[in-house]
Structure 1
Amino acid sequence: MNAPRPHDLLFARDAGAFTCAGARPDWFDAGAPLVVRRQATPPGIVAVGARGLHRNERCPGHVALDAVASILTPRMLAHRAHAADADFPCIAALRALAPRLDALDVDWGPAGGAGYWLACGLPVLRATSDLDLLVRLPRRPAAATLAALAGLRDGQPCRIDIQVDTGAGGFALAEYVRGGGVLLKTDAGPRLVADPWEPA
């Protein structure tokens, strides 16, 4: 099993595998996936978060890697959108954007609510839901690629939020294309950097 990365979704082998920071909330669903989050952890431990059906239902915690039954990456979830039986605007946008993203030859996929819904089918989406896209770019891409990614947000039936993961951290593409400093989310916390591919 490959090491989980931020935004991957994990399914635990049993209900007790997830250790919540604080009391386990009433809405916790042991059969639902856990979202990998950014935080430094000891070897063999993965920082994850549980989510419920509503935006205010979130619980950070941890799971042992050997208690993980399966991993779904955003890229794997991208392939599920074509067969998804739903008319949410965010899923329609995902289907429409898939060929353009594939043509850019980047590692991409849905994250956030759309990715979660595609992974487990729980009713977390609304007609007003945004589409969160994750693009993994471990090396600085060509300026034309970044421009093409930024242009994906235009003319869509919902708001599009594109997060870029460099491997060292993640940042919002919209913030980067505006110029100036970028808030890079890392395992050690957020950092304001001039260049997310050269954070040092």
Structure 2
Amino acid sequence: MVMNAFMPAQPHDLLWGMSVAALPADAPAWVVEVIGLGHPVVVRRARVAEGFVAVGVRGRSRDQRYATKMKISDISRRVQPEDLIDVVDRQCAEWPALRALKQIRALMNALSLPWGVAGSAGFELATGVPVLHQDSDLDLILRASAFFSRQQAAELVEALAGAACRIDLQMQTPAGAVALREWAGSARRVLLKSDDAARLVANPWLPQACAA
């Protein structure tokens, strides 16, 4: 999918087209290697100058994560988490994360909300690059444009608990992102991640309504 002015990139989207020449001069050698291999970058939450999108580069290990920015005009292809829901059917579900994806797909579809695969599982499904292992979690996103109650969140946490691996689900609200487990808990305020900052709020759909 080629980007255009009417399709802004969203967090967790995978973008192709970044060149080594576009990297900062002080980028680590592993970043240069990864971009040279043609791997995609992942959209992250941050404010950047007009005409750019904030992205991250991932390496072979968990500690290899590099934040930078990419020109929107350089984007040649975009894959969203929602595009990856069914890809596992065309690949061997060798790892627990991929088995878990098959297990929970009907449950997630029954919510009638857009959802998709992010993190290591999303990266491997989109690229074929082997990054998963036996202990990998399954990272999901759920686009909840309208209010999703704490009771609904608690029920979803319970329903996902029986999967083949730990599932970390981020709810994407119009104001930012909040962890499903946190919203399902009892704390009066939860951590909302937005492009500007992360802050504690009482309602992730109304971030100005902070609890005292």
Is the pair's TM-score, using the shorter chain for normalization, greater than 0.5? yes
Q: Call closer, same or farther: CA 1:14–1:77 in 2, change over 3 Å.
A: same
Q: SS of the residue aligned with 2:171?
A: strand
Match of 1:26 among 25, 29, 32: 29
Q: Which has the larger radius of gyration?
A: 2
C-alpha distance in structure 2 between counterparts of 1:86 and 1:150, whole Å: 23
Number of residue-to-residue matches in the alignment: 198
Match of 2:137 among 104, 109, 130: 130
Deviation, 1:151, is 2.5
Deviation, 1:176, is 0.8
1:106 aligns with 2:113: yes
CA contact (8 A) 2:151 2:184 kept: no
C-alpha distance in structure 1 between counterparts of 2:110 and 2:140, whole Å: 15
Match of 2:19 among 7, 11, 14: 14
The TM-score with structure 2 as length reference comes to 0.87
Deviation, 1:85, is 1.8
C-alpha distance in structure 1 between counterparts of 2:97 and 2:12, whole Å: 18
CA contact (8 A) 1:53 1:123 kept: no
CA contact (8 A) 2:153 2:181 kept: no
Q: 2:95 maps to which residue?
A: 88
Q: 1:194 maps to which residue?
A: 202
Q: 1:182 maps to which residue?
A: 190
Q: SS of the residue aligned with 1:53?
A: coil
Kindly provide the CA deviation profile for residues 10-52 of structure 1, in whole angstroms up to 9, marking residues without a partner as x. 11153334x35x7222222121110100001222110000001
C-alpha distance in structure 2 between counterparts of 1:174 and 1:13, whole Å: 34
C-alpha distance in structure 2 between counterparts of 1:149 and 1:73, whole Å: 22
Deviation, 1:143, is 5.9
The TM-score with structure 1 as length reference comes to 0.92
Q: CA RMSD in A?
A: 1.6
Q: Residue type matched to 2:139 in 1?
A: D
Report matched runs for 1:149-160 at 5 Å. Answer: 149-160=156-167
1:43 aligns with 2:46: no
C-alpha distance in structure 2 between counterparts of 1:14 and 1:193, whole Å: 39
| Mean CA deviation greater in 155-164 or 55-64 | 155-164
C-alpha distance in structure 1 between counterparts of 2:98 and 2:40, whole Å: 19
Deviation, 1:146, is 2.9
Q: What runs of 5+ residues in structure 2 fail to find an aligned partner? A: none
Deviation, 1:153, is 2.5
Q: SS of the residue aligned with 2:126?
A: helix
Deviation, 1:109, is 0.7
Q: Residue type matched to 1:23 in 2?
A: D
More strand by share: 1
C-alpha distance in structure 1 between counterparts of 2:27 and 2:198, whole Å: 26
Q: Residue type matched to 1:196 in 2?
A: P
Deviation, 1:175, is 0.6
